[in-house]
Amino acid sequence: MNSYRIAVLPGDGIGLEVTQAALFVLRRAADAFGFSVSFRECPVGGSAIDLCGDPLPPETLDACKSSDAVLLGAVGGPKWEKSSRRPEQGLLALRAGLKLYGNLRPAVKKPFLAGLSPLRNDAGFDILIVRELTGGLYYGKRGRNSGPEGETAFDTLVYTGGEIERILRMGFAAAQTRRKRLTSVDKANVLDTSRLWRETAERLAPEYPDVTLSHMLVDNAAMQLVLAPEEFDVLVTENMFGDILSDEAGAVTGSIGLLPSASLGAPGTPGLFEPSHGSAPDIAGKDIANPSAAILSAAMLLDYSLNEHAAAKAVESAVWRALETPPLTADIAQDSASAIGTRAFAKKIADFI
């Protein structure tokens, strides 16, 4: 029997509840598909700052490195807004420490959930954003100076050709498993990094003859995501653009509580799986958060890091089946009186496996 070690980083706020829900479903999937999972819980984010003053304690990073995969809840909250070390630094350090250069963010609008979307059009869509995650503005040289002209601040957007090539390859490969359309998003009318990005995409395209590559400027991409999201299959883009566009793509599905994500590095290294939503401190500890995104993230974990593809499919379909009929969690329930809690909804999902 295959057995896997998973590092579990609940983090802050609803992160605790939604990861518990995901573990419940993972255990059920393991029983049903004949493999075993062991979980090792480690602190990250604000709760790690409280515990030891460090949003990513070295022991947590080591535990992640020696696991098959990492499941994370959410980090952050008002409590740490003014602290000198911020919970988000833990997440950025984790991405860098595990060399997770590619971030997959699916944004799916199912026709039966169309009513949740802020868009009038009730067409469904199925988009995958492939975001570069360990380069660009987030990790370039930055600083503040004061001089004769007063204060200045700077952040640097740098990419090596190698960094661009590996994320584009991830985008092409993802498109090959889907509807074979790759939109590379850049700002090549202004930025040199984007011009190198575009040239690299053109150079790689002949290696993926089954994929149709197109280029789109990021401002236009932001507009098209609202006007015609159903036109997109896979979008590949740099770190900052991907941060912004993935929130937008998530918002137009109408249900931020349903969006998972996977952060991946070189093959054979542990991936990090987390819901796209934040720690929602206002509803934390009340057993009302929607665990769907965390559970869909667990499905991606089964798929990408454990290669348990059948179990991954079963978990994913179980989530969509559970979402198709009431009772639902309060964020998506038609009438709040019939809403059920985090734990009960996780059980409903597990029962569909």
Which of the choices ligand IPM, Mg ion, none does residue 235 contact, using the CB cut-off of 5 to 8 A by kind? none
Establish whether 348 is a catalytic residue: no
Instruction: Indicate the SS3 state at residue 76.
Output: coil
163 binds Mg ion (CB under 5 A): no
Which of the choices Mg ion, ligand IPM, none does residue 333 contact, using the CB cut-off of 5 to 8 A by kind? none
Distance CA 128, CA 95 (A): 20
Give the containing element (helix H, strand E) for 69. strand 69-74
Q: Which of 243, 274, 308, 316 binds Mg ion (CB under 5 A)?
A: 243
Establish whether 138 is a catalytic residue: yes
- The one-letter code for the residue type at 347 is K
Radius of gyration, alpha carbons of the chain:
20
Distance CA 340, CA 330 (A): 7
Look at residues 220, 208, 264, 253 and name the one whose alpha carbon lies nearest to residue 106: 253
Q: How far is the CB of 145 from ligand IPM (least distance, A)?
A: 24
Catalytic annotation, pick one of 187, 208, 303, 304: 187
**Is residue 137 a contact partner of residue 156, using CB atoms and an 8 Å limit?**
yes
Catalytic annotation, pick one of 155, 192, 219, 351: 219
Q: How far is the CB of 247 from Mg ion (least distance, A)?
A: 5
Q: Is 80 left (phi over 0), alpha (psi -120 to 50) or beta?
A: alpha
Which of the choices ligand IPM, Mg ion, none does residue 222 contact, using the CB cut-off of 5 to 8 A by kind? none
Nearer to Mg ion, 18 or 350 (CB): 18
Catalytic annotation, pick one of 50, 54, 126, 247: 247
Interface with Mg ion: number of residues (CB under 5 A): 1
- The one-letter code for the residue type at 267 is P
Q: How far is the CB of 164 from Mg ion (least distance, A)?
A: 21
Sites for ligand IPM among residues 21-40 (CB under 6 A): none
Give the containing element (helix H, strand E) for 216. strand 212-217
List the structure tokens of 53.
């003053």
Q: How far is the CB of 42 from ligand IPM (least distance, A)?
A: 18
Pairing of strands 3-11, 69-74: parallel
Establish whether 12 is a catalytic residue: no
List the structure tokens of 276.
């796209």
* Residues forming beta bridges with residue 142, ordered by sequence position: 155
Q: Which of 54, 88, 126, 287 binds ligand IPM (CB under 6 A)?
A: 88
Distance CA 104, CA 259 (A): 11
Catalytic annotation, pick one of 12, 68, 186, 243: 243
Nearer to ligand IPM, 50 or 88 (CB): 88
Instruction: Indicate the SS3 state at residue 235.
Output: strand
Question: Per CB under 6 A, which region of 18-26, 60-68, 88-96, 209-217 contacts ligand IPM?
Answer: 88-96
**Is residue 275 a contact partner of residue 106, using CB atoms and an 8 Å limit?**
no
Nearer to Mg ion, 57 or 76 (CB): 76
Establish whether 68 is a catalytic residue: no
Establish whether 303 is a catalytic residue: no
Catalytic annotation, pick one of 68, 101, 109, 138: 138
- The one-letter code for the residue type at 61 is L
Nearer to Mg ion, 68 or 243 (CB): 243
Q: Which of 12, 132, 163, 243 binds ligand IPM (CB under 6 A)?
A: 243
Q: What is the DSSP letter of 306?
A: S
Q: How far is the CB of 47 from ligand IPM (least distance, A)?
A: 15
List the structure tokens of 353.
């496996």
Distance CA 229, CA 233 (A): 9
Q: Which of 61, 91, 252, 258 binds ligand IPM (CB under 6 A)?
A: 91
Site residues (CB under 6 A) for ligand IPM? 88, 91-92, 243
Residues that bind Mg ion (CB under 5 A): 243
Residues with active-site annotation? 138, 187, 219, 243, 247
